[in-house]
């Protein structure tokens, strides 16, 4: 599996068989340069413009924006898990989806715009995640400390932070990625490159936190 960070909460996942999945594509209003990406499937956690710009994904992809189990191929399954975008039962920002992607013997989770701690059922479904893409910026989502607590509770092997402040969204009221990485030891972190290639066999060879 090759995982490439496009920006914000958008990632491009490419399986060994060549199937492409894009998560939460953003629009120009997000501040990041818009990079059209080809994919077979787009996962949309919720319909805010910085997460559902499916028009920027080429290749006539299938759109998944609902909860439940979606079988894409014999060895590729996506589960949409309902959650809240805030810590007030969705009354502030509505709902979001957490996605669990299972393929190649890997469990890969993208937590969308999660705004609260996980419920017991969400934790059960996401336990023992191999690669965890998790928001860390706070304000609109969980903050760095809560993100770490969730990652630890899930026993995530590799953690990829997302949805944090950068030069492209410098006026957003969220924290930069350092608020999250400062919670780990330097030797646990990799902060170079924009892609991660991972297989079931080499999970232990990667650092705990990968900033793409």
Cα–Cα dist 84/93, whole Å: 8
Q: What is the pLDDT of residues 75-119, one digit of tens each?
A: 999 999 999 998 888 888 889 999 999 999 999 999 999 999 999
pLDDT tens column, 2-13: 999 999 999 999
Per-residue pLDDT reduced to its tens digit, 117-175 = 999 999 999 999 999 999 999 999 999 999 999 999 999 999 999 999 999 999 999 99
Strands 76-84, 68-73: pairing is antiparallel
Q: What is the pTM of this model?
A: 0.96
pLDDT tens-digit map of 174-208: 999 999 999 999 999 999 888 999 999 999 999 99
* Backbone φ and ψ of 169, nearest 5°: -130, 40
User: Which domains, ranges and CATH numbers included, belong to the chain?
Assistant: 2-210 (3.60.15.10)
Per-residue model confidence (pLDDT) at position 35: 85
pLDDT of amino acid 90: 84
Find the distance separating the first CA and the last CA of the chain, reported in whole Å: 15
Residue with tokens 């924006």: 65
Quick: pLDDT tens for 45-64: 999 988 999 999 999 999 99
Output the CA–CA distances (angstroms, integers) from residue 8 to 51, 112, 142, 154, in the order listed.
9, 10, 14, 22
Mean pLDDT, rounded, of the chain:
96
């Amino acid at each position: 599996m090759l995982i490439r960070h496009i920006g914000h909460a958008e990632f491009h996942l490419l399986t060994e068989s060549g199937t492409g999945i894009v998560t939460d594509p953003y629009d120009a209003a997000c501040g990041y340069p818009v990079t059209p990406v080809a994919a077979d499937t787009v996962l949309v956690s919720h319909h805010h413009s910085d997460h559902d710009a499916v028009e920027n994904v080429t290749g006539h992809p299938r759109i998944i924006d609902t909860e439940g189990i979606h079988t894409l191929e014999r060895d590729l399954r996506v589960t949409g898990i309902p959650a809240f975008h805030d810590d007030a039962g969705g009354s502030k920002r509505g709902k979001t989806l957490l996605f669990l992607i299972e393929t190649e013997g890997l469990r890969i989770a993208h937590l969308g715009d999660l705004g609260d701690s996980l419920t017991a059922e969400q934790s059960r479904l996401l336990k023992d995640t191999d690669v965890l893409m998790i928001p860390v910026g706070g304000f609109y989502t969980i903050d760095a400390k809560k993100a770490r607590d969730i990652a630890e509770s899930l026993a995530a092997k590799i953690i990829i932070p997302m949805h944090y402040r950068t030069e492209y969204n410098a006026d957003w009221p969220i924290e930069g990625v350092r608020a999250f990485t400062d919670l780990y030891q330097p030797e646990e972190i990799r902060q170079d490159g924009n892609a991660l290639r991972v297989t079931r066999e080499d999970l232990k060879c990667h650092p705990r936190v990968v900033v793409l």
